[in-house]
Amino acid sequence: MRTERLDNFTDAAFAFAVTLLVIGGSEAPTNSAMLMAAVAEVPAFAIGFAIIAMFWTAHVRWRGMRGEGDWRSVVLSILLVFLVLIYVQPLRAMARSLSTYLGGAGTPFSGSIPDLFLVYGAGFVAMALTMALLFAEARRNRALDGPTQHALKGEVWIWVILVVTGLVSIALTRIGGIAQFAPMAYATLPISIGLFSWRWYGGRMAAVQAAEE
């Protein structure tokens, strides 16, 4: 399969996932109440859009470093497409729930929050693991230079951090008494990934500067 055709297929799948998050669904507002209800869904849409964009930009970044792939690249990319089209449903529910909790006026999720984050976490872990495997697969290209190999290894570790965070959240949903704290596991990601990136990429830059001196 030609690389550009695979990438176009992947981009189209992510674009379709975003359309499922569009404010107000397929029905255009016909009165003030419907318009206000649609606007109230903006926070939920923004949250879901940001997460979908995170995975899509990671795939674009992977392609830029990987270049032409082989059958492993095709299988993992198609798996990512399959997962995002399933993941978008619990993502919509999670985004609406979080938006309502933060003060949004949208329709809240009326089911069990631990069960919601169990399903959401499973999808998040599956997609993050697929991205980790894509970046790990890209390291098989021995033609890549040292800095690119270093960057790829860093990407693998970042997505492993995402996988572990999702697994922690899933585990919390099954522990009585603290299951409601399962969503908070994801709040640690800016700290954990920020610290890792500072150490990983900052250390690399320091080593390069030291070598130049």
Q: CB burial class (10 A; 0-12, 13-18, 19+) of residue 76?
A: buried
Least confident of 24-38, 57-71, 80-94, 187-201: 24-38
- Domains in the chain: boundaries: 3-212
Asked if pLDDT for residue 7 goes beyond 50, the answer is yes
Contact 161, 196 (CB under 8 A): yes
- Provide the whole-model pTM: 0.84
Please state whether 177 falls in left (phi above 0), alpha (psi between -120 and 50) or beta: left
How far is the CA of 158 from the CAs of 32, 47, 133, 172, in angstroms? 45, 20, 12, 21
Q: Determine the pLDDT at residue 50.
A: 92
Angle at 137 between CA 131 and CA 143, to 5 degrees: 130
**62-111 per-position pLDDT tens digit:** 988 887 778 888 999 999 999 999 999 899 888 877 777 665 555 666 77
